[in-house]
Amino acid sequence: MVHYVELPDGRCYPVVIDSLETLPVWLERVAVPRGRCFLVTDEHVAHLHLESLQAILKTAGWTPYVLVLPPGEPTKALPYLERIYDEALRWGIDRRTPLLAFGGGVIGDLAGFAAATLLRGLPLVQLPTTLIAQVDSAIGGKTGINHALGKNLIGAFYQPALVLADPSLLQTLPEREWTSGLAEVVKHALIGDPALFSLLEMRWTDVLQRNPSLLPDLIARAVLVKIRIVVQDEREAGPRAILNFGHTFGHAIERVAGYGHFTHGEAVALGMLAALWLSHQRHPDLPLTRIRALLQRLPVPPLPETLDFKTLRQVMQVDKKTLAGQLRFVLLRRLGEAYLADDVPEEALQAAWQFACASRQTAVAY
């Protein structure tokens, strides 16, 4: 399956959902000249999947240089960027040497930023290996690293030449990474694809169990939502912000609970419940119960005591999503359609949070 990201200025690249075996053919199709390539991955992915990727590349006549970095968010930082710079330049890349990012969002963002800035831009190939990366982070050209003062504060918009997502790689994902990614898939359904929402509702057990016959379609639908938004707004001037559905609360929840307690997806799952309530206030036709039921099926650990509304509210205020002091929310007008709202009344916030907490109490056990 292949979808194309066609940007208004004529740039275009394929997002392929298929086996890694097809990589050499796709590299040829996007006119990346065969030869040397620089491959960045992390230890988990290397352990599980590097051998087969290398075999595929070598059989097709490629000479990969492999850089394996530690797994986890702390790798998305300047010292590792420098490490990529040093090794790539020492090995001797030129402007046509492709850089392959083989991993989750951490490797994709970091190696993507390296590709954006080495020799002022190398061809970037995203080979996402997590659900989040396959449906979200590998597509759309946001690359970057974290800074001690916050996440993603340094980076560039830089579109890949090719994205190849192999669904079979997801079978080795730890359980919690899988369900965390599912939260993003549900988000994409809510903001952009009612049919995907129905698919998730109807086949939830298969979804949780990663039924291989279901995955390509699931991923493809979620990918299409992301593509549709990105082509409207490459540089995040407007529409792209609807990808932040659930994030105003979500970011604050992540922070207050302490990074590590919730995964990003779990925090967003909670944030989406709050945002759902706010949306329903304005749009009573929104199928609140139906949407809530799916959100409740996303596994989320119990809420810690510290997560009281007052603290959350304070943290939301200093979050970068505020504009001129006004909290910004993404709301649903109907299932599959979202928009930005800067005028959510203060009083509604606490009720929204209570709705989220209450919904979790009656949710399936974690």
Q: Quickly list DSSP for 62-85.
A: -EEEEEEE--SGGGSSHHHHHHHH
Q: Decide: 77 and 146 in contact? Cβ < 8 Å.
A: yes
Q: Which does 76 bind (CB under 5 to 8 A by kind): a second copy, ligand NAD, none?
A: ligand NAD
d(CA 152, CA 172): 27
Distances (CA, A) of 115 to 134, 155, 292, 307, 352: 19, 11, 41, 39, 42
Q: Which does 188 bind (CB under 5 to 8 A by kind): ligand NAD, a second copy, none?
A: none
Q: Is 152 in the site for ligand NAD (CB under 6 A)?
A: yes
Q: Does 18 bind ligand NAD (CB under 6 A)?
A: no
299 binds ligand NAD (CB under 6 A): no
Query: Nearest distance from residue 194's CB to a second copy, in Å?
Result: 31
Does 140 engage in binding with ligand NAD (CB under 6 A)?
A: yes
Angle separating helix axes 78-91 and 105-117, nearest 10 degrees: 60
Q: 207-212: long-range contacts (C-beta < 8 A, 24 or more apart)?
A: 207/182, 208/179, 208/182, 210/170, 210/171, 210/178, 212/167, 212/168, 212/171
- b/e per residue 116-151 (b: at least 16 CB within 10 A): bbbeeebbbbbbbbbbbbbbbbbbbbbbbbbeeeeb
104 known member of a binding site: no
Q: Are 164 and 18 in contact (CB under 8 A)?
A: yes
Length of the chain measured in residues: 366
CA 125, 130, 134: angle at the middle one, nearest 5? 55
Q: Are 103 and 40 in contact (CB under 8 A)?
A: yes
Closer CB to a second copy, 51 or 342, in the complex: 342
Q: For residue 310, how many other CB atoms are within 10 A of its CB?
A: 8
Give the footprint of ligand NAD on residues 67-126 (CB under 6 A): 71-73, 76, 103-107, 109
Residue 112 · residue 51 · CB < 8 Å: no
The yes or no reply on residue 231 touching a second copy (CB under 8 A) is no
181 is in an annotated binding site: no
> How far is CA 32 from its chain centroid?
26
Binding a second copy (rule: CB under 8 A), the pick from 31, 119, 195, 364 is: 119
Contact 276, 348 (CB under 8 A): no
Whose Cβ is closer to ligand NAD: residue 91's or residue 157's? 157
Q: Is residue 94 near a second copy by the rule CB under 8 A?
A: yes
| Site size for a second copy (CB under 8 A) | 29
The residue count for binding ligand NAD (CB under 6 A) is 29
Tell me the two tokens of residue 91: 């090995």
- Of 88-96, 128-136, 222-230, 342-350, which segment contacts a second copy by CB under 8 A? 88-96
142 is a site residue for ligand NAD (CB under 6 A)? yes
Contacts with ligand NAD in 173-192 (CB under 6 A)? 173, 177
Among 78, 195, 202, 364, binds a second copy (CB under 8 A): 78
Fill in the per-residue mask, 142 to 181: x = in contact with a second copy (CB under 8 A), - = not in contact.
x-x--x-xx-xxxxxx------------------------
Is residue 268 left, alpha or beta, with left meaning phi > 0 and alpha meaning psi from -120 to 50?
alpha
Report the residue from 29, 58, 235, 334 that binds a second copy according to the rule CB under 8 A: 235
* Span 31-70, contacts to ligand NAD by CB under 6 A: 42, 44-45, 48
CA pair distance 54, 41, nearest whole angstrom? 12
Report the residue number, 10 or 61, with the smaller CB distance to a second copy. Answer: 10
The site for a second copy (CB under 8 A) is made up of 9, 78, 82, 85-86, 89-90, 94, 113, 116-121, 142, 144, 147, 149-150, 152-157, 235-236, 320
The site for ligand NAD (CB under 6 A) is made up of 42, 44-45, 48, 71-73, 76, 103-107, 109, 129-130, 132-133, 136-137, 140, 142, 151-152, 169-170, 172-173, 177
Could you list the residues known to form a binding site, using ranges.
105-109, 129-130, 142, 151, 184, 247, 264
